[in-house]
Amino acid sequence: MRNFKEEQELNTLNHSCAHMLAQAVKHLYPEAKFWVGPVVEEGFYYDIDLGDKVISDEDIPKIESEMKKIAKDGKYIVRSEITKEEALNKFAGDEYKVDLISRMDEKDTVISCYTQGDFTDLCRGPHVESTKLLKNFKLVKFSGAYWKGDAKNKMLQRIYGVCFPTKEELDAHLQDLEEAKERDHRKIGKELGIFMFADLVGKGLPMWLPNGFILRHILQEYITNKELSLGYKHVMTPSLGNVELYKTSGHWDHYKDYMFPKMELDNEAYVLRPMNCPHHMMIYKNFLHSYRDLPLRMAEIANDFRYEASGACCGIERARAFTQNDSHIFCTPDQIASEVQGVIDLILDVYRDFGFENYKFRLSLRDKENTEKYFGNDELWEKSESALREILKNSGAEFYEEEGEAAFYGPKIDVQVKSAIGHDVTLSTVQLDYQLPERFELEYINEEGQKARPVVIHRAILGSLDRFVAFLLEETKGILPVWLAPVQVYVIPVNNEYHLGYAKTVAEKLKAAGFRVELDDRNEKLSYKMRESQVKKIPVTLILGDKEATDEVVSYRLMGSRDTTTVSFEELVEVLNK
């Protein structure tokens, strides 16, 4: 999808349309007050105080109708400049605009406003010439939003929209949005029985249903086997830790706002862990290590918990409880390049297995203008960033750099993917860390018999399993390949009275051969059962009737196909394995 924020023409058009939305709302609800109406990647929105009024589905067509009248009227959009004092007088009584104006630097700051007919709003601009250029728009969704994003403040009404130069572009975009709805992992996950949420359990706390458990189990087994083959040692650590552990690691100072509140128990304070590295540092510290023992690749499929604002939670893509495919590689400085390259190779190997192609490597650096939030000195950061940059160059991977995206303890390589519904998601990450070994006083005996500090490489391949499943469901539209599908084969007897016995025999033989099978033995019409198989998006459906039972063969149909193929049982197993 197009990026409204980065494309200048779309940016100007959508910012102007946000003002037209506000004007229409003001016509319909004269008491309305407005906070901000920025352009974002997916279009524009405006945050509006409507008093006790809550926007509903019935309101959107009314607002759109009023916007169309304004566009048809075609008033010129005129820029004017006023002083800060004049602006405070002009918008007196509107606490939202007064707040914006009051936070501007100087008393005599020149402030720009834009007027279209009977409506004037604060804005830096630029804007289009006239409202007649804004006729190709659509309001796409609405939600609540706290003023300034603070849950302590009043809830405002946020209305989202898009605007394009032509009707054709608008129609194409709306079609893409419909496709995105069909691909939304929250919709697919519910339909396929993958996961669920319940407010009584807690916001952002997913519960994995039987099909979801199978899918997660397959993914865990897949990545664990790859790691074991590469010499990783798997461990298991508790899902909470002493606050002192996180004070030692530095997470308490830098990350406590994203942790759940501490629990006081037996004169000690504990927290649900947001990450696993402190636990792994302690496992390493428990043993004596020689340079001959390194690299030590420690891995875990670990449950973690982070406090996310309820408005930031997005299905299993961003939740408060999640499972990480995590690892920490303890190595000597001389081993950094080969170990990071090994991780990159593993990432690429996994992406080939899943057929992922639309991804980019990002070198995530610290913000040099805001260094107080990072550990360590400039020299160490330069050394770490240069090392990762050199490794990426030598690997031949295309990458871009972005300041401010580093972890507080070191720079990292992130693999960014664009999901099928347009979200920018980090799937995999590799992080270089000199700081935690120092804070935990980790050691190994080097070749000279002296104590030395190891370096730690933090890495996640599938990243959060939850986010990975979300991405996978949206990429495949829920039509998973046979090896990943929770149910691989759906067995349908044409008539239960005559064919159920043979269907049961075939289903049991498939289970014995190691396949995941569901037998539909309900007294329903064949057409109904066939539709059920398609709705459940099961890769292979068997239809067993007189011919199949008599000849002891099977007829199968692949997901999305109308063609039926008849083969022996042995040939079917061969097809499934292939």
- Active-site residue set: 277, 306, 324, 326, 328, 412, 458
Radius of gyration of the chain (CA): 29
User: How far is residue 187's CA from residue 474's CA, in Å, rounded to a whole number?
Assistant: 10
Judge residue 357's burial from the number of C-beta atoms within 10 Å of its C-beta, 0-12 exposed, 13-18 middle, 19 or more buried: exposed
Q: Which of 239, 221, 220 is nearest to 303 (CA)?
A: 239
- Helices 496-512 and 569-577: crossing angle in degrees, nearest 10, is 50
Residues 6+ apart with CB under 8 A from 185: 315, 316, 317, 469, 470, 471, 473, 474
Q: Is 374 helix (H, G, I), strand (E, B) or coil?
A: coil
SS3 for 263-311, per residue?
EEECCEEEEECCCCHHHHHHHHHCCCCEHHHCCEEEEEEEEEECCCCCC
Place of tokens 């083969």: 567
Residues 6+ apart with CB under 8 A from 216: 208, 323, 465, 469
At 459, give phi and psi (nearest 5°): -150, 145
Q: Is residue 475 a contact partner of residue 419, using CB atoms and an 8 Å limit?
A: yes
User: How far is residue 79's CA from residue 62's CA, in Å, rounded to a whole number?
Assistant: 28
Q: Which two tokens stand for residue 107?
A: 């008393």
- Phi/psi class of residue 478: alpha, beta or left (left: φ > 0; alpha: ψ in -120 to 50)? left
Alpha helices in 449-525 (DSSP H): 465-476, 496-512
Cβ atoms < 10 Å from Cβ of 241: 21
Q: Is 77 helix (H, G, I), strand (E, B) or coil?
A: strand
User: How far is residue 106's CA from residue 352's CA, in Å, rounded to a whole number?
Assistant: 56
